[in-house]
Amino acid sequence: MGLHALVLVQDSGLRELIRDLLLPDDEVLAVWPPPDDLRGAATQLLVVDADDLPEGTPHRELIRRWSRELPTVLLSSRVATARRHGVCLVLPKPIPLPLFYAFVDALR
């Protein structure tokens, strides 16, 4: 039996999108910003839509910190976003489902 996935996303629209991609037992929480300290939390994946984040260094620094503590998927329509944020996986929008599934399955 695989791990139960608890996924943090930043808004209800993204929550509904990701909810449709995961298994019925997985839980998707719209929590933004995520808690200050994610270590030890039950969360196994953080999904962030970079296109919906305000511009600015503080947000990039937060994402860098979260991605050190959690596997992080960043959705972006801009290629340069990966280098700026230093996350585990950057997916273009619309989400390429095979890549997303493979990443989530690897966490289970």
pLDDT in tens, 49-58: 777 766 665 6
pLDDT at 62: 72
For residue 90, the domain's CATH number is 3.40.50.2300
Tell me, yes or no, whether 84 lies in a domain: yes
Tell me, yes or no, whether 75 lies in a domain: yes
pLDDT in tens, 62-107: 777 777 777 777 777 665 555 555 566 667 777 777 777 777 776 6
Tell me, yes or no, whether 23 lies in a domain: yes
Tell me, yes or no, whether 1 lies in a domain: no
Contacts of residue 88, Cβ cutoff 8 Å, sequence gap at least 6: 67, 71, 72, 73, 103
pLDDT at 11: 65
Task: With a cut of 70, say whether residue 9 has pLDDT above it.
Answer: no
Tell me, yes or no, whether 77 lies in a domain: yes
Tell me, yes or no, whether 49 lies in a domain: yes
Residue range of the domain that includes 98: 6-107
Report how many domains make up the chain. 1
Tell me, yes or no, whether 61 lies in a domain: yes
- Tell me which of 38 and 28 has the higher pLDDT: 28
